[in-house]
Structure 1
Amino acid sequence: MAPKYKLHYFDVTALGEPIRFLLAYGNLDWEDIRYDDAKWAEAKNKMPFGQMPVLDIDGKIFAQSTAISRYLAKQVGLSGKDDIENLQIDIAVDLFHDFRQKIGGWFYDPIPESKAAKEVQLKEQVPYYLKKFEQIVKDNNGFLVNGKSYRLQRAKAPLHGSQHLTLIEPGRRILDNTNGLRISSFVNPLTWADIYFVAPLKYFKFLYGKDFLEGYPLLQELVKKVESTPAIAGYIAKRPAGDK
């Protein structure tokens, strides 16, 4: 029997959103349990490390956003194909944590003098990290890790125009009538590194106060690729309108 998942997190995107994207992507049986401040005050001491997100899998609670995302990626086919690709995924995810901690550390700093100093540093740090990510995406054909071409095999007969599909989904055969080619097998270029980067961006743009992806076209395209994946797009369309 397939497991039942319950995600516990605040009523924001942030570090819970990669998990939501992965659960939606895999069309898994899951419940999105959101907390306001009052509900969190009552529940905090019941959490493994006094923090969220946590994922309930058939009644057993697991913590840590990255670990949960890595687990779910294995369940839905978004891990790397080998140890090297999994290493590259971990590097990209860790780099994202370095990036988002710069923004969060500045935004949540309660000491005015310290916050002002961090704001000066942030003006250099944000473009530094985004340039790194932009280059990574460039080097990987539009993705953070697994941007490889799919294998093509000539069809025995020309394909009907109605069979032309452009959307790549894992595990599906795709027909392309443009050159009479049939894609019989392929490597899905999307990995959970792409999801972990894209899913929380809305929250960190909110903290930063503006869209920091302006001037980074490859990252903007990556966002479109992830968010236009049908299952994820369906989740986004239904999530709370005020989600930040």
Structure 2
Amino acid sequence: MLLSTMLRSNYNTRVQVLKICRRMLSSRATKYKLTYFDARGTAEIARQLFVLAAEPYEDIRVDKADWVKLKPEMPFEQLPVLDVDGKRLAQSYAICRFLARRFGYTGKTPFEEALVDSVADQIKDYMFEIRPFQVIVMGFVAGDLEALKKDLFLPARKKLFNYLKKFLNESSSGYLVGDSLTWADLYLAEHVAVYGEMFPEMLEGFPEIKAHSQKIFALAGQKYEDVRYTFQEWPKHKDEMPFGQIPVLEEDGKQLAQSFAIARYLSRKFGFAGKTPFEEALVDSVADQYKDYINEIRPYLRVVAGVDQGDPEKLFKELLLPAREKFFGFMKKFLEKSKSGYLVGDSVTYADLCLAEHTSGIAAKFPSIYDGFPEVCVSGFFSFLTKTVDDRT
């Protein structure tokens, strides 16, 4: 999701060369198939590498029921697995190293490549260290999240970030190694994106790591300043906001509040609001219905976010699933009418983004959200993102 939109101009040359080569060698082009669960997880960096390279691939996402049947077929009975012209490669780091070498994201010299590997391996050690914390965050096991955050996650993060801070200070380019993007940068930025959203204090005391993440985020498209407040900082800024809440978009010193007003404005500005006035109105109607649905399930969302106390499993079953049944039923009709895979018309709109972002986030913890609604599954979304790179660079 971080790098899965149009790339900035400094990557245009690389993308154009790859596109020309693909056309010349189309009769014997490599066929890639990446298989993982319907979540970001350990396959996300591989997806980002495919999009950065403007390389087509088949993004296969399996649910729990299918996984039981597929598991014995996999090299180590786990995912992700990459198929390259029918040959299978397992282990996420091996997959990323392979793709990064193939697409040019491993460093410019053998020693830079070795340095990138060392950084990625250190991040892997860190991930193993915080595993007890991660499995609670993902809802796999019960435990004291706050205690583990304080005693395990934040100290481990401090140690890792101190190491990586030295790399950033030595590189002087904003990247971890050398003067160009590598897959180690993607790993760090992806981790910060996922956990920094849930635990904003993650970046406290590490402005270098924050600047690095913002640099990587900016590769995705329109440059902007991504300002994030911790819960401790927010009271000082609340009165500065039009309605005392966030998000707020500032453009040339003028402020715009309310998330849907912001999304509509940016979508119209960047071409994701529909192609005709009526399509634009239809997109707004879908987005407004989505907002009604979000308001309906807000008690569940507040418990999951840790704002309120409650039983998330019970609320999922008794509140979210019935509301989803109604809402997904509506969305299914739109998808069947459009016949394009998008909710309205023949191109992606911000209504598609709302639906995809919501379902992919919940599906990471509750894959059953898609049960009975295969049309709503976002597994084809990265096909659009790859096409976006091809069309716009």
TM-score (norm 1): 0.70
- The one-letter amino acid of 1:123's match is L
C-alpha change, 1:118 and 1:223, in structure 2 (3 Å) is closer
C-alpha change, 1:13 and 1:117, in structure 2 (3 Å) is closer
What pairs with 1:76-87 in structure 2 (closer than 5 Å)? 76-87=103-114
User: Tell me, what secondary structure is at the counterpart of 1:3?
Assistant: coil
Partner of 1:186 in structure 2? none
C-alpha change, 1:33 and 1:201, in structure 2 (3 Å) is farther
Report how far residue 146 of structure 1 moved. 1.1
Contact residue 81 and residue 89 of structure 2 kept, 8 A: yes
| Alpha-carbon distance in 2 for matches of 1:199, 1:32 | 18
Report how far residue 64 of structure 1 moved. 1.0
| Alpha-carbon distance in 2 for matches of 1:117, 1:228 | 32
Contact residue 17 and residue 200 of structure 1 kept, 8 A: no
| Alpha-carbon distance in 2 for matches of 1:117, 1:213 | 17
C-alpha change, 1:201 and 1:60, in structure 2 (3 Å) is farther
Structure 1: where are the runs of 5+ without partners?
148-188
What pairs with 1:91-130 in structure 2 (closer than 5 Å)? 91-108=118-135, 110=141, 120-130=151-161
2:177 to 145, 160, 170: 145
- Bigger helix share: 2
TM-score (norm 2): 0.45
| Alpha-carbon distance in 1 for matches of 2:183, 2:40 | 16
| Alpha-carbon distance in 1 for matches of 2:123, 2:100 | 17
Report how far residue 105 of structure 1 moved. 2.7
Partner of 1:73 in structure 2? 100
> Which stretch has the larger CA shift, 125-134 or 84-93?
125-134
| Pair 1:26 & 2:53 matched | yes
C-alpha change, 1:14 and 1:190, in structure 2 (3 Å) is same
Q: How many residues are aligned here?
A: 197
C-alpha change, 1:203 and 1:41, in structure 2 (3 Å) is farther
Contact residue 96 and residue 183 of structure 2 kept, 8 A: yes
Deviations 1:84-132 (A, max 9, x none): 111110111011112222222333275859x967852333222221222
| Alpha-carbon distance in 2 for matches of 1:204, 1:34 | 23
C-alpha change, 1:70 and 1:42, in structure 2 (3 Å) is same
Q: Considering only aligned residues, what root-mean-square deviation do their CA atoms show, in Å?
A: 2.9
Partner of 1:195 in structure 2? 186
| Alpha-carbon distance in 2 for matches of 1:118, 1:217 | 20
Partner of 2:257 in structure 1? none
C-alpha change, 1:6 and 1:200, in structure 2 (3 Å) is farther
| Alpha-carbon distance in 2 for matches of 1:54, 1:213 | 32
C-alpha change, 1:199 and 1:116, in structure 2 (3 Å) is closer
| Alpha-carbon distance in 1 for matches of 2:158, 2:74 | 36
| Pair 1:46 & 2:78 matched | no
- The one-letter amino acid of 1:224's match is Q
Report how far residue 196 of structure 1 moved. 2.5
| Alpha-carbon distance in 2 for matches of 1:38, 1:66 | 26
- Bigger strand share: 1
| Alpha-carbon distance in 2 for matches of 1:125, 1:213 | 13
Contact residue 19 and residue 69 of structure 1 kept, 8 A: yes
Amino-acid identity (%):
32
